[in-house]
Each structure stands twice: as structure tokens, then as C-alpha cells.
A and B are shown apart, each in its own frame.
Chain A
């Protein structure tokens, strides 16, 4: 049986990196409503931040005049965040992240996302990239 919805909210931001802090505040406030432990709030917040940064870098190629929609839903047993953009379809390699044994800048964002979320699903529907991140509670 589907669990009752506890919280649901969405925010649409401009794809300029200055708005990433607004997404972090938005998520932090919502996650705190759920009384989750601090480490989990920090992990989820970092992961969504990294996912939005990836949209700016890879889907929008640093075009700061586009939009990113972040939707949040939670029930008693999971948190789900959906990140939507209308940029280019990211290459498969952009979902991999670098080998952590290599000392080189970049490639860490996907590791933060995988650390925080149990399921990561990507779909492209009619020109919209839709990344669904789910964390079981």
C-alpha cells in the first residue's frame, strides 16, 4: 500500500550557480521538518547540490540563463527528489565519477550522489532530462 505523503514541495531556479545555495536552504528546511539525523540531511543536501551543479556544467554547458526544477516528496519510508532540466542529454560517462584513487580535480560529484541516495534513475522525456533520486528511510 502506498504510504501517505508527508511533505511535498518544488522550486524552480535559474541555472546560475549563485542559486545553488537557495536549493540547499530549501532542501535543508524540508528535511528538517522530517526530523532526520543531521548527517543524512547533510548528505542529501550535498548530493542534490552536486546534481544541480552537474546540470549547469553538462546539460546546460554553463549557460546560466536556463532553468532547473527541483521537486521534493517524502513519505514515512522514503525521500524522493526529482531534478529536471531542458539541456542536452548527459553522456553516460558523466554518471560515473572518477576513480577515487586518481589524484585529479573533478569527478567527485557522482560519488556524493551515490553515497546519499539508494536509487538513481535518469530518463529523457520530450527534451526534458529527469533525474530521480530516492533515499529509503
Chain B
């Protein structure tokens, strides 16, 4: 998995690629919790190049989202593949996260 973080206005865009599983999610957790510790908002997660995601990835997003709630921050997920969308829907998290079509949609929210 690769993580690329860029400034977007007052927030950050976190572009992820590759597979997010039990092996790689600790690195993602570290990166996201660093941003939430700095009270960054919005955090836009671009999942366009994510080829696989397990429950530890979902747990990492939930943990970061909960951390952002303490400062009323906004996390937006975009470019979800149909499979990843299905995973979020199955876990009943599609109504918890702000899910956007693409980067433009995420920036306009």
C-alpha cells in the first residue's frame, strides 16, 4: 500500500493505492491519526487505486472518523470501486461516512 498526502485548501487529500489489510493498515492508521491529532479538516480519502480492503481498513477509517468527531472535522471518501462501496454498505457504514463520487465532488461538499 502507498499513501500520498497533499494539501487541499484547509484540509488534506490522502490518496491510497494497493491493498489495505492487517499488514498494511497500521501504517494507514498512523498517518490518519497524525492528521486528526493536528485537527485537520476536511480529510479527503481517495480510494481510486485501492485494489483490496479488509475489515482492518474499515476499522481504521472508523477510528479516524471517531477521532474527528471530537473537533467536528469532516472525512470524505471518494472514488470507491463497486466492491469497496459494497463493503461499506454491508457494514452499514455508507450512511456514517460522507461518500463522494470523485475528488471534485468531495471538494465541493
Residues of A within 8 A of B (CB): 16-18, 20-21, 24, 42, 46, 49-50, 53, 56-57, 100-101, 103-106, 108-109, 111-112, 115
Contact = CB atoms under 8 A, between A and B. Distances in A.
B54 A53 contact: yes
Interface in B73-109: 83, 87, 90-92, 96
A104 B65 CA distance: 10
B62 A103 contact: yes
Contacts of A24: 52
Nearest to A108: B55
Contact of A112 (B55, B62, B83, B96): B55
Contacts of A109: 54-55
Interface string B27-62: 000000000000000000000000010111011101
Contacts of B58: 108
Nearest to A100: B92
B66 A115 contact: no
A21 B24 CA distance: 11
B54 A105 contact: no
B23 A50 contact: no
Contacts of B62: 103-105
Which are the 10 A-B pairs with shortest beta-carbon distances?
A: A17-B23, A105-B59, A108-B55, A17-B22, A105-B63, A53-B22, A109-B55, A100-B92, A105-B62, A106-B59
B90 A115 contact: yes
Interface of B is mostly: helix
Contact of A21 (B23, B66, B96): B23
Contacts of B59: 105-106, 108
A21 B19 contact: yes
A111 B90 contact: yes
Given A18-B23, A103-B66, A46 B92 contact: no
A15 to B, nearest CB: 11
Contacts of A50: 54-55
B22 A105 contact: no
21 contacts: A17-B21, A18-B23, A20-B22, A21-B21, A21-B23, A24-B52, A49-B54, A50-B54, A53-B21, A53-B22, A53-B54, A53-B56, A101-B92, A105-B59, A105-B62, A105-B63, A108-B91, A109-B54, A111-B90, A111-B91, A115-B90
